[in-house]
Amino acid sequence: MGKRKPMDLEVQTPMPGLKVRRRIGRTERAAHAAVRAARKESVLETTDVGAISALYAAARSVDAAELGGDVYAAPQAVREYRASLADLLLTPASRKGGNGDDADAWLASLGAPALRDTPGS
């Protein structure tokens, strides 16, 4: 078996039958870099391949939403991307044992009913 060549992170080769080459966006490049660094530090296990695949798909969704200017899909894609990073312990908060979802908790609290002063009290 020959030496493995590093993946070309700038342009992905097309699937069989497709003639279009897709540019890899900055979020997906960052995801590849994070996975490479985690593998180098032995943070990831061989059983993490499914989660890594989900991370790459989420990163691709973020890039597509950003490229398309989709203001509704982008936050959802970013939330999935952050969750995938946390699942793989690739964020500082997840490595320290926190979930890093302070922003999500704050946004959820905005919809909670608030106690208000009622007239005559």
Residue 7 inside a domain? The answer is no
Residue 20 inside a domain? The answer is no
Residue 85 inside a domain? The answer is yes
Residue 112 inside a domain? The answer is no
Q: Which domain holds residue 73?
A: 46-98
Residue 90 inside a domain? The answer is yes
Question: Residue 22: CA atoms inside 13 Å, Cβ hemisphere, count?
Answer: 13
Residue 71 inside a domain? The answer is yes
Residue 87: closest CA among 57, 48, 33, 42: 48
106 torsion bin: left (phi>0), alpha (psi -120 to 50), beta (else) = alpha
Q: Averaged in consecutive runs of 10 residues, what is the pLDDT profile of the chain (121 residues)? A: 49 60 85 91 84 92 89 88 89 68 62 60 52
Q: Domain tally for the chain? A: 1
Residue 29 inside a domain? The answer is no
Q: How far are the Cα atoms of 87, 91, 98, 108, 111 from residue 94, in angstroms, in the given order?
A: 8, 5, 5, 20, 26
Residue 67 inside a domain? The answer is yes
- State the CB neighbour count (10 A cutoff) for residue 56: 18
> Would you state the pLDDT for residue 27?
92
